[in-house]
């Protein structure tokens, strides 16, 4: 049975913009975030407290947090203790941590194995929880790794269990390079729902092979009712060669609403937000609904 409602976690301002070649001005980011909130988005990744040396796009994290925090869930990514300190001092309480299932991916990403990453991150999860925070654990390379190939479900469940035991409120399970099939999504999410019935679980799909929406549908059938999407389909992964952007928010909202599943998000306002951010980007927006929107505007 499909759910009657689905929660969209908008990741465009963080995951979507972090790989933009040109720096997007802080004022444009704030306007983008506020426009998406006006469209009805209640949960969003705002920014990332990382070193500007490694992710220059996120150098304005404190300004973004200072301008965009509200009563809804506003996630910020914190890769280490220094990032968590800055996030907490900026008033952030919804914290995201990430670890890849694949050792090779972690080594390329942060020069640590999965076990080494966990050793550093799990104490931070506890600290964030002690600060009355909401913690989401982003589980990268849950299906395939660009260096190791297919990842077994057992490895995903084992890593997820570490976070759940540490107190994480949610698991965001990612098809980081967009190689998962709907059948694989159905199997993994069914196993995760069985293993962690009291933990929120979100699906995070990339559209490398054009199957993000199909994977969302498969996860829906497995009982998942939370999904990460990115307005405009923005995103990618600097450590995953060939990975395209995330599932587009406007495409996911259109599909879900057409199925009678409520998202609480106004599609037209999302398209307007994408239209407004596009001039600040170094890439074209080619999500299905935005392409249609542009064609209708021209006509």
Own/partner long-range contacts of 116-121 (Cβ < 8 Å, ≥24 apart): 118/159, 118/162, 120/80, 120/81, 121/97
**Catalytic residue numbers, as ranges:** 237
> Looking at the 3D structure of the chain, how many domains does it have?
1
CA distances from 164 to 65, 102, 266, 280 (A): 26, 19, 33, 39
Q: Which CATH number goes with the domain that contains 153? A: 3.20.20.70
Domain-located, residue 2: no
Domain-located, residue 1: no
- Closest to 58 in 3D by CA, of 76, 42, 70, 74: 76
The pTM (predicted TM-score) of the whole model is 0.95
Domain hosting residue 77, numbered range: 7-298
Domain-located, residue 253: yes
pLDDT (tens digit, 0 to 9) for every residue of the chain, 299 residues total? 899 999 999 999 999 999 888 999 999 999 999 999 999 999 999 999 999 998 999 999 999 999 999 999 999 999 999 999 999 999 999 999 999 999 999 998 888 999 999 999 999 999 999 999 999 999 999 999 999 999 999 999 999 999 999 999 999 999 999 999 999 999 999 999 999 999 999 999 999 999 999 999 999 999 999 999 999 999 876 555 555 689 999 999 999 999 999 999 999 999 999 999 999 998 889 899 999 998 877 65
Can you give 154-173 as a three-state secondary structure string?
HHHHHHHHHHHHHCCCEEEE
């Amino acid at each position: 049975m499909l759910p009657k409602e689905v929660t969209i976690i908008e990741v465009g301002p963080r995951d979507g913009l972090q790989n933009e070649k040109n720096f997007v001005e802080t004022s444009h980011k704030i306007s983008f975030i506020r426009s998406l909130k006006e469209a009805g988005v209640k949960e969003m990744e705002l920014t990332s407290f990382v070193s500007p040396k490694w992710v220059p796009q996120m150098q304005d994290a404190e300004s973004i947090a200072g301008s965009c925090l509200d009563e809804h869930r506003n996630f910020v990514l914190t890769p280490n203790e220094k990032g968590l300190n800055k996030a907490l001092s900026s008033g952030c309480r919804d914290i995201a941590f990430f670890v890849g299932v694949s050792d090779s991916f972690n080594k390329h990403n942060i020069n640590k194995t999965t076990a080494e990453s966990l050793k550093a991150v799990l104490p931070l999860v506890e600290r964030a929880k002690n600060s009355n925070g909401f913690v989401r654990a982003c589980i990268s390379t849950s299906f395939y790794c660009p260096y190791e190939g297919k990842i077994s479900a057992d490895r995903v469940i084992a890593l997820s269990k570490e976070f759940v035991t540490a107190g994480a409120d949610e698991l965001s399970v990612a098809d980081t390079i967009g190689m998962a099939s709907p059948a694989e999504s159905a199997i993994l999410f069914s196993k995760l729902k069985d293993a962690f019935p009291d933990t929120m679980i979100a699906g995070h799909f990339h559209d490398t092979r054009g199957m993000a929406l199909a994977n969302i549908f498969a996860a829906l059938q497995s009982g998942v009712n939370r999904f990460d999407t990115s307005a405009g389909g923005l995103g990618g992964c600097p450590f995953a060669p060939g990975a395209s952007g995330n599932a587009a928010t406007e495409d996911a909202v259109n599909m879900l609403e057409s199925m009678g599943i409520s998202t609480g998000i106004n599609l037209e306002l999302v398209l307007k937000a994408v239209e407004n951010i596009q001039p600040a980007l170094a890439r074209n927006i080619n999500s299905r609904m935005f392409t249609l929107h542009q064609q209708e505007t021209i006509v």
